[in-house]
């Protein structure tokens, strides 16, 4: 079955900045979805900030295997209720791919539990992405490294937790380095952060970038059934104990009562 991907775009600069509109007349999200749809195993659609519920209603999320997230100027405009909902779905097993300036999105900061800060410079300098974990599925088809002639510099320290996999590290012309491809797991959900993606450069038209995103969608898709109720803390009543035990000591709770939350 085809993997169902949703590309979420903030869709702001595409409508307010002529340079961005020229590169992405339909928006970056549509460009990314088109690239994913070239891949036989992926069916990608889009959602944007401006839609009702930001295009991420319950039904849409329930039928999404992997969500890609691009935001920048309007992180603060994303409703906390929708972020709750997205986080819940990632815990249940939906993959999450966070792009570029999404490092400061509400959903990414929540998932990491860290500031997710970095240094940056918008000078159009060269970025060279080295494949660190060369046989990782996300690196399929990348031959050791690839380059972007113009990129926004994102530099260390990138204040995220130590990752599960270090997939890419970038070299920048101006002298910085950046862990530009990292993975984590949160609940049942697999997460990939990918650094490149500044809106004034044609990053999402680049063949290698499209290849990495397509690989990442395949990697992040979880074939297990959704882990619904993952946030519950069920009481295992004495009567249902796996080994025969007897009540000892004092109790706060009645048997089978729900815990505090």
Residues 5 and 3: their CA atoms lie apart, in Å, by 6
Select from 122, 205, 207, 228 the one that contacts a second copy (CB under 8 A): 122
- DSSP, res 185: E
Whichever of 205 and 253 has its CB closer to a second copy, that residue is: 253
CB closer to a second copy out of 52 and 252? 252
The three-point CA angle 114-116-122 to 5° equals 170
**Among 59, 80, 143, 242, contact with a second copy (rule: CB under 8 A):** 242
Stretch that binds a second copy, among 1-9, 37-45, 46-54, 246-254 (CB under 8 A): 246-254
Q: Of the two residues 37 and 155, which places its CB atom closer to a second copy in the complex?
A: 155
Please identify, among the stretches 30-38, 39-47, 53-61, 120-128, the one whose residues bind a second copy according to the rule CB under 8 A: 120-128
Rounded to an integer, what distance in angstroms lies between the CA atom of residue 27 and that of residue 186? 29
User: Judged by CB under 8 A, which stretch of 32-40, 44-52, 204-212, 251-259 contacts a second copy?
Assistant: 251-259
Cβ–Cβ contacts within 10 Å for residue 71, how many? 26
> Measured in whole angstroms, how far is the alpha carbon of residue 19 from the centre of its chain?
26
CA-CA distance, 198 to 201, in Å (whole number)? 6
Considering only residues 75-94, where is the footprint of a second copy by CB under 8 A?
A: 75-76, 91, 93
Considering Cα of 167, then 196, then 207, then 171, what sign does the dihedral take? negative
| Closest CB 173 distance from a second copy, rounded Å | 5
Cα 40 to chain center, whole Å? 22
Give residues 18-37 in contact with a second copy (rule: CB under 8 A): 19-20
């Amino acid at each position: 079955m085809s993997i169902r991907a949703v590309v979420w775009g903030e869709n702001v600069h595409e409508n307010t900045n002529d340079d961005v509109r020229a590169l992405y007349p339909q928006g970056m999200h549509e460009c990314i979805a088109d690239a994913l749809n070239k891949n036989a195993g992926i069916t990608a659609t889009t959602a944007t900030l401006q839609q009702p519920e930001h295009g991420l209603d319950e039904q849409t999320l329930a039928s999404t295997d992997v969500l890609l997230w691009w935001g920048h100027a309007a992180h603060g405009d994303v409703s906390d209720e929708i972020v709750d909902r997205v986080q819940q779905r990632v815990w249940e097993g939906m993959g999450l791919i966070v792009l570029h300036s999404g490092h400061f999105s509400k959903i990414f900061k929540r998932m990491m539990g860290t500031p997710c800060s970095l240094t940056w410079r918008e000078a159009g300098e060269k970025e060279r992405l080295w494949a660190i974990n060369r046989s990782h599925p996300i690196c399929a088809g990348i031959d050791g490294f690839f380059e972007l002639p113009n990129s926004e510099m994102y530099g260390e320290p990138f204040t995220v937790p130590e990752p599960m996999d270090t997939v890419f590290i970038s070299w920048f012309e101006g002298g910085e380095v950046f862990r530009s491809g990292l993975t984590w797991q949160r609940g049942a959900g697999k997460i990939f952060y990918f650094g490149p993606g500044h809106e004034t450069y044609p990053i999402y038209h680049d063949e290698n970038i499209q290849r990495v995103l397509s690989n990442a969608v395949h990697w992040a898709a979880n074939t297990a059934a959704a882990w619904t109720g993952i946030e519950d803390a069920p009481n295992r009543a004495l009567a249902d104990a796996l080994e025969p035990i007897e009540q000892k000591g004092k109790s706060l709770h009645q048997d089978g009562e729900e815990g505090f939350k």
